[in-house]
A and B are shown apart, each in its own frame.
Chain A
Amino acid sequence: MSYLKKIIHNCKKATFLIDKKEMGSISLREHIELRIHLIGCSFCRIYGKQSRAINKMVRELFQSAMQPGIKLDDDFKKDLQERIEEELNKS
């Protein structure tokens, strides 16, 4: 297989570069290879969009979990504060 054909076919490599580019950096050569690949590959173009969407959704998921709503039960909290007071009295 020619060098160019390898780039065009290799989605495994292209998706790796998409993810790495998103969070870090890739070399100039990798940039060019990825550009060439994406021109002809609709699968990987979708992958890129979804990869970015997933990053955003995961972040939002964790943020929404930090909204008031998740709470400890009162008994646990009472015991816990007592435990802290105990430690404070020790010293």
Chain B
Amino acid sequence: MSHLLNPHQWVAAHADYLYAYAITRVNDDDQAKDLVQETFLAALQKTGGFEGRSSERTWLTAILKNKIIDVYRKKSSGLRSSEVKEAEEEQNSFFDEETGHWLKEYGPREIGIEDKDHIVSKEFEHILTKCLQKLPVLWKSVFTMKHIDEETTDTICAELKVTPSNFWVIIHRAKLNLRACLQKNWI
């Protein structure tokens, strides 16, 4: 079946969805709204390229996704140095400088999420959201693209201009900080 576009119904049919998609990734209400608007306007220019192979919503989401990557790229390029340096310093203190062993006060201890079937409470979700927001923009972007949008490593490296080896370091460092933040704030 081939899909059709109906711009007269776009807002009613997809605006809330696109807004939710954007706000979870950029954490900024005004910016999320702008992105939704830009997506529709850009889509109007591209209707000729729509072949009907995917649904209208999938097609619009793909346009939005590219706009979000632009935001990631812009946000992370300027502050890359200071913001990332700070986060890196924080986690250097987790390990013994010489041996690389966990220092006792930072070593992982069980916080009730280790069991596969554990239930995630609202309070925990709240802390997780806060901890995600604390990550440097570049790390959060890489982490989100990999884990949520399931982009390939090659795509992420190309879009955000990081090398493959740096990519793995970022995935790991984001996880280290996120985990430490959860352990610290979940008592």
Task: Verify that A and B bind, or say they do not.
Answer: yes
Tell whether, in the assembled complex, residue B12 and residue A81 are in contact, meaning their CB atoms are under 8 Å apart.
yes
The CA-CA distance from A6 to B113 in the complex, in Å, is 30
Report which of A61, A68, A80 forms a contact with B128, defined as CB distance below 8 A.
A61
Indicate if A58 sits at the interface (CB-CB under 8 A): yes
**How many B residues have CB within 8 A of the partner chain?**
56
A-B contact list, 14 entries, CB within 8 Å? A19-B172, A20-B168, A43-B107, A50-B111, A54-B175, A55-B147, A58-B143, A58-B147, A65-B20, A66-B17, A66-B24, A77-B15, A81-B8, A84-B41
Asked if A70 contacts B128 (CB within 8 A), the reply is no
A15-B176, A43-B108, A53-B118 known; A20+B171 contact, CB < 8 A: yes
Contact between A50 and B113 (Cβ–Cβ < 8 Å)? Answer: yes
**A-contacting residues, B102-128, CB 8 Å:** 102, 107-111, 113-114, 116, 118, 120, 124-125, 128
- A50 B7 Cβ-Cβ under 8 A: no
Tell whether A29 is near chain B: CB-to-CB under 8 Å. Answer: no
B95 on the interface (CB 8 Å rule)?
Answer: yes
Instruction: Flag whether B78 is at the interface (Cβ < 8 A).
Output: no
Q: In angstroms, how far is the closest chain B Cβ from the Cβ of A3?
A: 13
8 A Cβ contacts from A60-79 to B: 60-62, 64-66, 68-72, 76-77
Contact in complex: A80, B168 (CB < 8 Å): no
Verify A54–B179 contact, CB threshold 8 A.
yes
